[in-house]
Amino acid sequence: MPNIQHLRTQAFRAQQGLCYYCDLPMWERSPDELTPLCLSPRKAASLRCTAEHLIAQQDGGRAVRGNIAAACWICNSRRHKHKCPPSPDAYRALVQKRMARGKWHPSVVRRLRAITSSCLLQEK
């Protein structure tokens, strides 16, 4: 059976380095992977890739490929702060709704929007 780090790396690659919940870029080995975003070390730390058990281990979820997703540290830790964590689909919907309103990773989202806007302007 593959170890959790291997499963996390597989999920990270399959998700093209984006968080399962918030769709923001994550770093796997070093915060320097996010250098183009010009984030402070503290903000970059919140985007560290973690292995997320979609079905929690305490609920019988195992460390197998279909049960591991790559999620940023913030999304993973916030989901599991709930006494009864929501299902992955319900939590993803909540995170996406809050992302749309700029209420999830607010400073990172602002930075990404600014970078995206400037890239689009340069392409014109």
pLDDT along the chain (124 residues), means of 10: 88 96 93 83 89 88 92 93 89 94 80 61 48
pLDDT of residue 123: 47
pLDDT of residue 122: 52
CA distances 41 to 11, 73, 90, 96, 121, Å, are 24, 14, 30, 24, 28
pLDDT of residue 124: 47
Identify the sign of the CA torsion 77, 95, 85, 65: negative
The model's pTM is 0.85
Q: Sketch the domain layout of the chain as residue ranges.
A: 4-123
Residue where the block lists tokens 């292995």: 51
pLDDT of residue 60: 87
Calpha distance 11→81 (Å, rounded)? 23
Q: Kind of pairing, strands 49-53 and 68-72? A: antiparallel
In this structure, which topology does domain 4-123 adopt according to CATH?
A: Herpes Virus-1 (3.30.40)
